[in-house]
Each structure stands twice: as structure tokens, then as C-alpha cells.
Amino acid sequence: MSLAPVRPDLAGKRLVLALSGGIACYKAAELCRLLVRSGAELRVVMSDGAQRFITPTTLQALSGRPVVTSQWDASGEANAMPHINLTRGADAIVLAPASAEMIARLAQGRSDEIVSLTCLARPLATGHGLVPLLVAPAMNREMWAHPATQRNVAQLRADGALVLGPDAGDQACGEIGDGRMLEPEALLEDIVAALSLKPLAGRSVLITAGPTFEAIDPVRGLTNRSSGKMGFALARAAREAGATVTLVAGPVHLDTPRGVARVDVQSAQQMQDAVLARAAAHELFIATAAVADWRPLQLAEHKIKKNGKKQPPALELTENADILAAVAALPRPPFCVGFAAESENLAAHAREKLVRKKLPLVVGNLGPATFGRDDNALLLVDADGEQSLPADGSQADKLTLARALVAEIARRLAVAR
């Protein structure tokens, strides 16, 4: 099995991974591995209960550093205070799994074992190196739904903790419902988002992604090779940047980015309806989708058969509405960013679109060279000139590009508003 490419999303970050007792400790091993592969400098602390499910040796092997298992363990600590030393200079504590018992301890401020003691000792003031607490609950569905647990979770949130999850599904006890700890990949995505800069905090962003499918008959249609990867990467990057994100997606087979609201459509008309119903409520519109310019004038009721005929059926086309132009023409339009997927003369075609649709920014790329791929190169075109992403004209993976583009858009949006 090949591993996914390593993306150093957490390079330079110092994290504390804290485990409390629960069967979900087996997931913490994979989370530990993912955090290290993402570049984090990781220390692990385990409660007595956690050690019933997974050994400190496993976490030490995965983190590459000794695991702290007791507040009385002074080995390697000159001042015999591991609970203090672990949090000084840390960027966050990730409590995963967080059992109902551990959540209750933290809500009450109890600190009679190493995990709760470490969480309680973390700095809370920004001026003293604020250390966020990210909590991933893991418990039986009835325990999660119990009023006492919900009160405790509400208290954690009020005290500044960020609660990640829980998920719903099959549980180790054989029951089904809310309470599962998020899968490690989902937790990693949430952790990266939590530690990202927030230039779009409080902003609402509407993004279109993927192709459209224009039906000819019940089984055939006109479409294009857009994979939707760039639009989905932008949705994730905008969410990481603090925005509330709605993603209108054409027919693609991609997982929805964490924390993003998704609306699935097929045709250009459906995409237009979905966008125009929402555009006025958003401050930023990024039209990444490769919307079909044309659609069949008539939809055949049944599959068009060859029936031995040598001549193909006549296919009369009509033009689809221009979604981006319609949004840009609204009385109070959002800040509109267009995409131009071209096969030649990229800068000229992107600038023509900028002028014709009266947009503040158009992002150009060579469609045939990037459709379906995981990397890309972008050309930003505005009234003042052109700018390449990456700056040296090379290629980068689409999430890296999306983050850079979101940062650039956030800067422009701040100036425009």
C-alpha cells in the first residue's frame, strides 16, 4: 500500500497529544503517526486508563519521544514538573480520545492525574503563549447524549476548548449512534484548520467546483474533464482561513472538506439556481466550476438508438446562462473571483474575461494540463497586471495553491471592503 504524499501542514508546530481511557485509543496511534508525518514536534501524555488500551511503547515508537504517564515521573525533567514543561511553548493540546470521565474532570477543574493536570496547567492568556485545547470526544452514544455530558461539554466550550466531533456510526459496544471519535484523517484536517491563520474570519464564501452535465437523453450528456479538485481545495483552504463556506459541486467523486456545507447539482441550470439563491448572502464568490457553455435544446425522452442508421442524430444546442456574470451584476454583488481554464493564450483570455464580466480578479490556468491532476500553476489577472502562483512559475499541489490564493483573495477583500 502506497502512502499519501507527505504535506508538512504542521511543520514547526509543537503539539501535545493526550490520551484518556477508551477503545478509541487505537485510533490515537494512527493520529500520532499522521501528526508526525505532517511535521509536528509531538509529545504524548497518557492517563492510566489509556494505558489499559494501548502501551506507551507504541506511542513512543510513533512519536519518537518518551511518553509521559504520571505526574510523579520526573525522568528527564530537571524540575520534576512534566505537566508544566509539556505546555510551555506548545501550540496546542490535542485530547484524543476524550472520555466522558476526562471531559467531566476538565469541566470541574479537577487535576488528580497527569492528563487533566497537563490540560489545567496550559497557558490561557494570549500574552503568555495561549495554548488551545482541542478535544475529540469518544464514548457510547448514551453516555454522549446524557445531560451531564452535554453540560460538561458546554462548559469546556465556554472555557475556550474546541470540541472536534464526535462522529456517528458503529460503536465498539455494538450500538450505533453519536459518540465515535473522529477518524484520524478527519482529526488531522480539523487540527490543521484550528491552527491556521484566520484572514477570512467572520466571512461567508460561496464556491462552485467541478463540471456540469448537460443531458442529451436519460443516459448520455455533454460534460468536460474538470475533476473539481481545485474548487474543493479552495473550500478547504477558505474554511481553514476562518470562513463559513458553501460549496456548490457538479458531478464529482470527492469527499466534502470538513466543516463545509455542500450542495450537489448536475446541470448548469441547477448550478445557476443554487448559486443565485445564495449569492446575495455571501461576501465572496469563487467561480471555480467548469460550467458547460452549451446544452441540448431538447432532452430526448428515451435513449437515442442507432437503429442501423449511419448518420448521427442532429443535436441542436442552446447557450447556458453565465453564472459568474449574473452574480457580478447583482445590485450588491459579493467580491467575485472568476476562473479561466484555457488551452492557449492564457493571459489574453483571462484578461478578456476580467473586462467582459467586470470582475476584480480572474485566475487562469491551462485546463488540459491540469484537469484531474493533483498539481497546478495559476495566473492571477487583475486591472493592475498579472501574478503567477507559485511566484517562480513552477507547479504546486492544489491545496498549497488554494491556501496561497485564499490568502491573496483575503488581502484584496480587506482592501475592497
- The residues that are catalytic are 173
Please report the sign of the dihedral spanned by the C-alpha atoms of residue 326, residue 332, residue 334, residue 340: positive
Nearest to 323 by CA among 228, 229, 222, 250: 250
- Residue 293 in marked binding region: yes
Distance between CA atoms of residues 333 and 360, nearest Å: 12
Distance between CA atoms of residues 36 and 225, nearest Å: 35
Give SS3 for 28.
helix
> Do residues 244 and 295 lie in contact, with contact meaning Cβ atoms separated by under 8 Å?
no
Nearest to 32 by CA among 13, 58, 6: 58
> Do residues 240 and 196 lie in contact, with contact meaning Cβ atoms separated by under 8 Å?
yes
Q: In sequence order, which ranges of 88-160 are alpha helices (DSSP H)?
A: 100-108, 114-120, 141-145, 147-158
- Residue 353 in marked binding region: yes
Distance between CA atoms of residues 374 and 140, nearest Å: 39
Nearest to 404 by CA among 128, 196, 210, 260: 196
- Residue 339 in marked binding region: yes
Distance between CA atoms of residues 139 and 103, nearest Å: 11
Distance between CA atoms of residues 19 and 16, nearest Å: 10
Distance between CA atoms of residues 227 and 116, nearest Å: 45
Q: How far is CA 328 from the centre of its chain?
A: 27
Distance between CA atoms of residues 116 and 47, nearest Å: 9
Go through 52-61 and write b for each residue having 16 or more CB atoms within 10 A of its CB, e for each that does not: ebbbbebbee
Nearest to 276 by CA among 330, 220, 204, 219: 330
- Residue 170 in marked binding region: no
Kindly state the cell numbers that stand for 301: 425522452
Give 163's strand partners: 135
> Do residues 265 and 209 lie in contact, with contact meaning Cβ atoms separated by under 8 Å?
no
What is each CA distance from 246 to 3, 207, 234, in whole angstroms? 30, 6, 11
Q: Which residues are annotated as a binding site?
A: 293, 303, 339, 353, 357
Q: Which residues are annotated as a binding site for CTP?
A: 293, 303, 339, 353, 357
